[in-house]
Homo-oligomer: A and B are copies of this chain.
Amino acid sequence: MDTELRDLLFSVKNGDTSVDEALLKLKKQPYIDIGFAKIDMHRKLRTGQAEMIYGAGKTAEQISGILTAMKENGQDRVIITRLSEDKADEVAKEHEIRYVKNASIAVMGDMPEPDGTGKIVIATGGTSDIPVAEEAAITAEMLGNEVVRLYDVGVAGLHRMLDHLDELMTATVIIAIAGMEGALASVIGGVAECPVIAVPTSVGYGASFGGVSALLSMLNSCASGVSVVNIDNGFGAGFLANRINHIKGAK
């Protein structure tokens, strides 16, 4: 930043850039304002990487508008999370998207080639956690990662997890997704040697309190190397896993 600033100032001094141009550059907004939203355009993305839209609080019209603005700015690979089927149908009338129903996710553009350090393993405690897992998986894939899915390997049947020890031992990063008591994160954290991202899900009943029980369990994990994202936040886990799997310069 220093360098850019210094260059700009020199260029002003030299007369190469007028004061007003410099002012403009310094103030230039790295986002597009389309009225109801300000779309960030400032991230230096790896080529072909997908941009995200959080679909939950937006109308189909708003989402379509954002997609249009993105395309006009050269972004043709987009993930839309938390999108209901109804809205997806509506958006699909104007944009070419693929909708993955059980993950409530839509994607525009095709899947990029994986270019990460290694593999992201996504494990779930039960079948009911699969929607959250798919949100994480598709997010990670659209950002250029190879994903290995290990579903329904919860600790009530420990052998089901132990059966996949080698996948777990060779992962670059693991996403452990579980509801109820969320013990999966601790058990995986106990055997894994890579970063583990724990995702509590709202699966459960009674004193599971919509995922709070699993959340607390994961935060208190006796295994080191485990961190936690918000309840049901598959997207967040997939996004973070991508960052870890794309760290530059690792030996």
Bound-state CA distance A127–B245 (Å) is: 31
What is the interface residue range for chain A against chain B? 35 or more
- Contact string, A197-239, partner B, CB cutoff 8 A, digits 1/0? 1001011111111011111111111111111111111011101
Residues on B with beta carbons closer than 8 Å to the beta carbon of A31: 157, 159-160
A59-75 contacts to B, CB under 8 A, are 62
For this complex, 9 residue pairs linking A to B, each with C-beta atoms less than 8 Å apart, are A117-B248, A118-B249, A125-B222, A155-B183, A156-B190, A182-B183, A197-B227, A225-B236, A227-B229
Q: How far is the CB of A10 from chain B (nearest CB, A)?
A: 6
Q: How far is the CB of A30 from chain B (nearest CB, A)?
A: 6
Bound-state CA distance A206–B132 (Å) is: 12
Bound-state CA distance A227–B176 (Å) is: 13
Contacting pair A221 B127 (CB below 8 A): no
Q: How far is the CB of A183 from chain B (nearest CB, A)?
A: 3
Residues on B with beta carbons closer than 8 Å to the beta carbon of A36: 127, 130, 151-152
Residues on B with beta carbons closer than 8 Å to the beta carbon of A181: 182-183, 186, 216-222
Residues on B with beta carbons closer than 8 Å to the beta carbon of A217: 181-183, 213, 216-217
Stretch touching chain B among A1-9, A89-97, A105-113: A1-9
Q: How far is the CB of A213 from chain B (nearest CB, A)?
A: 4
Residue numbers of A with Cβ under 8 A of B are 1-2, 5-6, 9-10, 12-13, 15, 19, 22-23, 26-27, 29-31, 36-38, 40, 42-44, 52, 56-58, 62, 115, 117-118, 125-128, 130, 151-160, 163, 165-166, 169, 172-173, 180-183, 186-187, 189-191, 193-195, 197, 200, 202-209, 211-233, 235-237, 239-240, 243-251
Contacting pair A202 B206 (CB below 8 A): yes
Task: List 8 tightest A-B contacts by C-beta distance, closest first.
Answer: A250-B250, A206-B231, A57-B128, A183-B183, A227-B227, A213-B216, A206-B230, A117-B250
Considering only CB atoms, which chain B residue lies closest to A165 in the complex?
A: B1
Contacting pair B2 A166 (CB below 8 A): yes
Bound-state CA distance A214–B222 (Å) is: 11
Known: A181-B182, A181-B217, A187-B158. A117 touches B249 (CB 8 A): yes
Residues on B with beta carbons closer than 8 Å to the beta carbon of A248: 117-118, 250-251
> Which of B9, B183, B194 makes the CB contact (< 8 A) with A19?
B9
